[in-house]
Amino acid sequence: MRVAVIGAGAAGITAAYELAKGGAEVDVYEAGDAAGGLARTIDLWGQKVDLGPHRFFSNDLRVNKLWLEVVGQDYDMVDRLTRIYYKKRFFDYPLKPANALWNMGIFKAVRCVLSYFKEKIKPSFKEGQDETFESWVVGRFGRQLFDMFFKSYSEKLWGIRCDELDADFAAQRIKKFSLGEAIKSALGFGKSKHKTLVDQFAFPLEGTGVVYERMAKKVEELGGNVYLNTPVRRILHENKKVYGLELTTGETRRYDHVISTMPFTLLVKGLGDLPVDIEYAVDQLKFRNTVLVYLNVAGKDMFKDQWLYIHSPDLGTGRVTNFCNWVPQINGNSPNTILALEYWCYDEDAMWKGKDEDLIAQATKEMRSTGLIGDAEVLEGKVWRIKRCYPVYGRGYKQFLEPVVEHLKQYEGITPIGRYGSFKYNNQDHSILMGLLAAENLLHGTQHDLWQVNTDYSTYQESATITKTGLVRQGETEPMVLPRTTPLPLRNRTEKEEPVHA
């Protein structure tokens, strides 16, 4: 079987890696100049930085086994510190009662507790009422905590009001996490930690992207091809049976099957001859963009967090990453600190079209206003624009997504996976799992329903987490014995670093 994979991000390159190991003929087409997609690592000012914070975490035995197979021993455990900055105060996140109380003051804390119990006794939103992000969170945490810890951050991220945001976003990301669980965890009770609460994670010594660069290298060693800087325009089919793809150069290539991680909406539109209702539904599916502003700040030890969530409504940025606080290997011997400020916007927003120097000036001003960098000199800045990186779960988005998915299922020979590839708010682990399962379906004829990944797949798989000494099954203390693997060398990086999708 000849398989083409569109995109060398976590999902696509995992699928290609597994297919190549399984003996399939596989070619990967990547629009950017390196493997890794949103989870790639770039060289900047003599250091290695990711595209914003990239903490890998999974409970899934299959995903963790694969990650360790590729990373080998070249990782370290990082003690997580990721506080919330809200109105000049730093709240520990996961929330710790004493710290929250200290920061809020007794009156605000009492109001939070009262508003929590009010929701339990007399909910603001009736059961069965059309659930939105706001009603989901208020129902579980109370109005006061919603206003402090969810509202402004979510509105910055999505650019729409929380009552216009679908509850799916909360259900996928916050899941069964509740105030009770947070408090139990803070007091040291409870068996297993919710994903939102884990306090250590494994991080590769060369940055997140090394995982995907190594996979790309292995695909080539096994006889596959990874074509960088080679965007695909559309998938070719006859009577809904796929026979190949067309590159943006107009060149066509023949394949029996295409695994696609290109934006879902563009994939579907490229198929052509869409019924009017499907075309309309596709147009209702929106993506949000990210603008990352990197600042090279003179000096070290500005703050200890790997990243800070910025909930203060007066600041435009929503998250600040400090690359000095992951593993020292990525910093080289630099005496400076690289920070990345994240801003989110739509294509039509001024932010997306803004001049780099204005964005760098804004980011510098915002960092100064927090007091975190004092009067340290900002030596230089760099802007990195990422298009379509957040599928927007607007209220009722499923009524548009579902018919499009059903339409796509009529085509033989296409597997859409990945974050924007399947319009799912994936983390790396979800995308890796989608890649693994897509390859398994093709190699072994399994019938994994990939649309379920990131929704309820975690309920049936075996659970294990990565520790310093290896992979440990839930409930055990000794690491599992895994086959010995030799870590793969890196492919050569290209000198020129361009935005991935801009």
Ligand X SMILES: Cc1cc2nc3c(=O)[nH]c(=O)nc-3n(C[C@H](O)[C@H](O)[C@H](O)COP(=O)(O)OP(=O)(O)OC[C@H]3O[C@@H](n4cnc5c(N)ncnc54)[C@H](O)[C@@H]3O)c2cc1C
Residue 317: what are its φ and ψ, rounded to 5°? Answer: -70, 150
Reported residue count of the chain is: 502
Residue 450, Cα to own-chain centre: how many angstroms? Answer: 17
Say which DSSP state 264 is in: H
Q: Which of 139, 381 has the CB closer to ligand X?
A: 381
Q: Which of 52, 94 has the CB closer to ligand X?
A: 52
Nearest-angstrom CA–CA distance, 308 and 121? 34
Q: Which of 69, 181, 342, 440 binds ligand X (CB under 6 A)?
A: 342
Q: Is 56 in the site for ligand X (CB under 6 A)?
A: yes
**Residue 49 beta carbon to ligand X: minimum distance, rounded to whole angstroms:** 12
Q: Is 32 in the site for ligand X (CB under 6 A)?
A: yes
**Residue 268 beta carbon to ligand X: minimum distance, rounded to whole angstroms:** 13
Q: Of the listed pieces 53-61, 91-99, 330-338, 454-462, which binds ligand X according to CB under 6 A?
A: 53-61
What is the DSSP track for 296-317?
Answer: EESSS-S---SEEEE--TT-S-
**Residue 372 beta carbon to ligand X: minimum distance, rounded to whole angstroms:** 19
Nearest-angstrom CA–CA distance, 109 and 100? 8
- Burial (0-12, 13-18, 19+ Cβ within 10 Å), 61: middle
Q: Which of 10, 84 has the CB closer to ligand X?
A: 10
Q: Which of 340, 372 has the CB closer to ligand X?
A: 340
Q: Which of 3, 4, 5, 12 binds ligand X (CB under 6 A)?
A: 12
Q: Which of 271, 500 has the CB closer to ligand X?
A: 500
Show contacts with ligand X in window 286-305 (CB under 6 A): 290
Nearest-angstrom CA–CA distance, 452 and 447? 12
Counting runs of H as helices and runs of E as strands, what totals does the chain give?
A: 16, 21
Show contacts with ligand X in window 226-285 (CB under 6 A): 231-232, 261-262
Q: Is 431 in the site for ligand X (CB under 6 A)?
A: yes
Q: Which of 290, 415 has the CB closer to ligand X?
A: 290
Phi-psi map region of 225: left, alpha, beta (phi>0 left; psi -120 to 50 alpha):
beta
Q: Is 501 in the site for ligand X (CB under 6 A)?
A: yes
Q: Which of 10, 68, 84, 437 binds ligand X (CB under 6 A)?
A: 10
Q: Is 341 in the site for ligand X (CB under 6 A)?
A: no
Give the C-alpha distances (Å, rounded to integers) separating 162 from 52, 423, 428, 459: 24, 20, 25, 28
Question: In terms of Cα–Cα distance, which of 334, 380, 390, 343 is closest to 166?
Answer: 390
- Burial (0-12, 13-18, 19+ Cβ within 10 Å), 371: exposed
Q: Is 500 in the site for ligand X (CB under 6 A)?
A: yes
Q: Of the listed pieces 188-196, 355-363, 426-434, 465-473, which binds ligand X according to CB under 6 A?
A: 426-434
**Residue 204 beta carbon to ligand X: minimum distance, rounded to whole angstroms:** 12
One-letter amino acid at 63 equals V
Q: Is 39 in the site for ligand X (CB under 6 A)?
A: yes
User: Following CA atoms 242, 248, 249, 254 in sequence, which dihedral angle do they give, to the nearest 10 degrees?
Assistant: -10
Q: Is 327 in the site for ligand X (CB under 6 A)?
A: no
Q: Is 465 in the site for ligand X (CB under 6 A)?
A: no
Show contacts with ligand X in window 344-403 (CB under 6 A): 386, 389
Q: Is 55 in the site for ligand X (CB under 6 A)?
A: yes
> With contact defined as beta carbons under 8 Å apart, do 106 and 145 qualify?
no
Q: Which of 52, 224, 391, 416 binds ligand X (CB under 6 A)?
A: 52
How many residues in the shown chain lie near ligand X by CB under 6 A? 39
Q: Of the listed pieces 157-165, 352-360, 407-415, 418-426, which binds ligand X according to CB under 6 A?
A: 418-426
Nearest-angstrom CA–CA distance, 497 and 488? 23
**For the chain, what percentages of helix, strand and coil (3-state, to nearest 5) are there?**
35, 25, 40
Q: Of the listed pieces 7-15, 178-186, 277-285, 478-486, which binds ligand X according to CB under 6 A?
A: 7-15
Max CA separation in the chain (angstroms): 68
Q: Which of 427, 441, 454, 465 binds ligand X (CB under 6 A)?
A: 427
Helix (H) or strand (E) holding 257: strand 257-260
Q: Which of 142, 209 has the CB closer to ligand X?
A: 209
Q: Is 11 in the site for ligand X (CB under 6 A)?
A: yes
**Residue 434 beta carbon to ligand X: minimum distance, rounded to whole angstroms:** 7
**Residue 426 beta carbon to ligand X: minimum distance, rounded to whole angstroms:** 4
Q: Is 454 in the site for ligand X (CB under 6 A)?
A: no
Q: Is 426 in the site for ligand X (CB under 6 A)?
A: yes
- Strand duo 414-416 + 257-260: pairing: parallel
Q: Which of 312, 428, 441, 454 binds ligand X (CB under 6 A)?
A: 428
Please give the angle made by the CA atoms of 87, 320 and 142, to the nearest 5 degrees. Answer: 45
> With contact defined as beta carbons under 8 Å apart, do 99 and 183 qualify?
no
Q: Of the listed pieces 52-60, 152-160, 457-465, 481-489, which binds ligand X according to CB under 6 A?
A: 52-60
Residues that bind ligand X (CB under 6 A): 6-12, 29-32, 37-39, 51-56, 231-232, 261-262, 290, 342, 386, 389, 418-421, 426-429, 431, 500-501
